Amino acid sequence: MNWRVKAAIQNTLAKLPPALANPAYYWLQRRMGNMRRIDPTERVQATLDFCEMLETAGASPVDGRFLDLGTGWRVNVPIALWLCGARSVVTVDVNRYLKPALVRRDVRFMHEHRARLESLLGARLYQNRLDALAQLDSRSWQIDDLFRLCSIDYIAPGDAAQLPFESNSLDFEVSHMVLEHIPVAALQAIHREAVRVLRPGGKVLHRIDLSDHFQHSDRTISPLNFLQFDDDEWRTIAGNRFMFMNRLRIDDHLRLFEEAGLRVVSCRRYEDERGLAQLDGASFHVDAQFSGKSRSDLATTAAWVVAEKPAS
């Protein structure tokens, strides 16, 4: 779909009351968007990446108490963390988007494609937990039954900057393609709250999509397309709650972690070759607000970041 047409549709929906806008947006996502195909293995793979990066940083997800930011429509990351040995997962979202029907289909997929899940998770899989998930799917169940089984606590609407937990009570904070949708001031508050609720030495792990999300459905534009607009113009295009992008670059994110008191342990970043070529071309003009940034920071369209709360 042409990105400007998509932007117009989203802006129109955002003007409607949530009781009308949310079901309409969900309907569009299921028929024309990212949720046309039900396959939870993408988020299961992301969870494996979380586990790998944790271990590289000297920690283990086993028996860990996790905070998952940005639940969305489904809970595949919390389920996968539990299958990999997590003690508990609190998942928080500012909107109550979770769809039990989609969660049921995900659980059914995991049951019916058990061999695929076993192959994907490998030695990290707790077989007794997968057995319990299959048993749950074999009978009538409600979403709360799944939450009790998998030790998931769903908080929505919730504020990740004001969490109902004691200080130093959690081990890890994770998110998958969420931070790019949060305004800077809120992001700063969320990072400060992470410092409060994480135990000393606790870690945050975030998969950040730094590309123009309109490019996901319109390949005629560059992943760096949104860098050409100033803030006022971009706000008119994508200033709504369905497609807000803060357009922070990777150096901005790393600075925000450090300013909040989180020490960056590692950053696995991916530069877009097409974007690098466009930055060198005469016809692609980056807005002045991004001046002074390196080509690498501008062209980084995805990153995995691990940061930790100092031990003392």
Say whether pLDDT at 35 is over 80: no
Pairing of strands 65-69, 198-209: unpaired
Question: Exposed (0-12), middle (13-18) or buried (19+): which is 138, by Cβ within 10 Å?
Answer: exposed
Instruction: Quote the percentage of the chain above a pLDDT of 90.
Output: 86
**So what's the pLDDT on residue 27?**
84
**So what's the pLDDT on residue 23?**
87
Say whether pLDDT at 38 is over 80: no
3-state helix, strand, coil in the chain (%, to 5): 50, 15, 35
Write out the two tokens for 58. 């000297």
pLDDT tens, 164-222?
999 999 999 999 999 999 999 999 999 999 999 999 999 999 999 999 999 999 999 99
Q: How confident is the model at residue 51 (pLDDT cuts 50, 70, 90)?
A: very high
Say whether pLDDT at 25 is over 90: no
Distance, in Å, from the CA atom of 283 to the CA atom of 272, rounded to the nearest integer, reads: 18
**So what's the pLDDT on residue 19?**
87
- The stretch 96-114 carries a mean pLDDT of 94
Helix ranges, 198-272 (H): 231-238, 250-260
If you classify domain 37-308 with CATH, what class do you get?
alpha beta
- The stretch 29-40 carries a mean pLDDT of 77
Contact 65, 170 (CB under 8 A): yes
Between the alpha carbon of residue 158 and those of residues 71, 97, 117, 151, 202, the distances in Å are 10, 12, 31, 18, 22
Say whether pLDDT at 39 is over 90: no
pLDDT tens, 218-253?
999 999 999 999 999 999 999 998 999 999 999 999
- The stretch 103-125 carries a mean pLDDT of 95
- The stretch 97-114 carries a mean pLDDT of 94
Contact 48, 76 (CB under 8 A): no
Instruction: Domain ranges for the chain, please list them.
Output: 37-308
Q: How confident is the model at residue 269 (pLDDT cuts 50, 70, 90)?
A: very high
**So what's the pLDDT on residue 287?**
95
Say whether pLDDT at 34 is over 80: no
Helix ranges, 113-170 (H): 114-121, 127-137, 143-150
Tell me which amino acid residue 263 is. R
**What is the pLDDT of the chain when averaged over all its residues?**
94
